[in-house]
Amino acid sequence: MAKIVLSLVPLSGEIVKLLIRQTPDVPDFEVIAGYEMSVDEIKINLSRADIVLGDYTFKHKITADIVAEAKSLKFIQQPSVGYQHIDVEACTARRIKVANTAGANAVSVAEHAIAWGLCLIKNMFYVHTSTRSGADLQRRSRCSAGNP
């Protein structure tokens, strides 16, 4: 029997299915796209879901009330670092495993910090503002470097 995946991410069910299919040895499954669903619709679909792909936009909260409807749910995968909108205690009480993607943004955050540092060192904010106002920065930089 096919596993049922309730996807709360803001992607169509077909896209989620294509992404999951990229993983080798995935058993047969059905994807229910639930991002646009109401809380009541989520409860109804959650009652038959085996896996939930959490909502990284935090539009949907997975509360104890919702978890109580999860008859066959075994796993919630949160596709972001935070999981403050998931009632982890209620999931633990029902033996539902919850996972997030801790550290997934570490490289991006480091790159972003370095990029901002370079902007500050090179005075990019001044250059951007001056260029937009029509200043001739090449002439100014040659003169400031001691060149006539």
Q: What is the pLDDT of residue 114?
A: 96
Same domain, 91 and 119: no
Q: What is the pLDDT of residue 64?
A: 92
pLDDT higher than threshold 50 for residue 148: no
Mean pLDDT score across all residues of the chain: 83
User: And the tokens for 25?
Assistant: 């040895």
Record the pTM: 0.67
Same domain, 94 and 117: no
In a domain, 148, yes or no: no
Give the residue-averaged pLDDT of 7-12: 80
The rounded distance, in Å, linking the Cα atoms of 141 and 88 is 57
In a domain, 146, yes or no: no
In a domain, 84, yes or no: yes
In a domain, 45, yes or no: yes
In a domain, 79, yes or no: yes
Give the residue-averaged pLDDT of 74-88: 88
How many structural domains is the chain composed of?
A: 2
In a domain, 81, yes or no: yes
In a domain, 143, yes or no: no
Most confident of 39-53, 75-89, 108-122: 108-122
In a domain, 142, yes or no: no
Domain span including residue 124: 105-136
The rounded distance, in Å, linking the Cα atoms of 91 and 70 is 10
If pLDDT is split at 50, 70 and 90, which confidence band does 144 have?
Answer: low
DSSP per-residue codes, 7-29? E-SSS-HHHHHHHHHTSTTPPPE
Same domain, 38 and 82: yes
CATH code assigned at 75: 3.40.50.720
Same domain, 44 and 82: yes
What are 92-107's pLDDT values in tens digits?
999 999 999 888 888 9
Most confident of 12-21, 33-42, 133-142: 33-42
Same domain, 41 and 92: yes
User: What percent of the chain is modeled with pLDDT above 70?
Assistant: 87
At residue 94, the 3 state secondary structure works out as: coil
Same domain, 83 and 114: no
Same domain, 42 and 57: yes
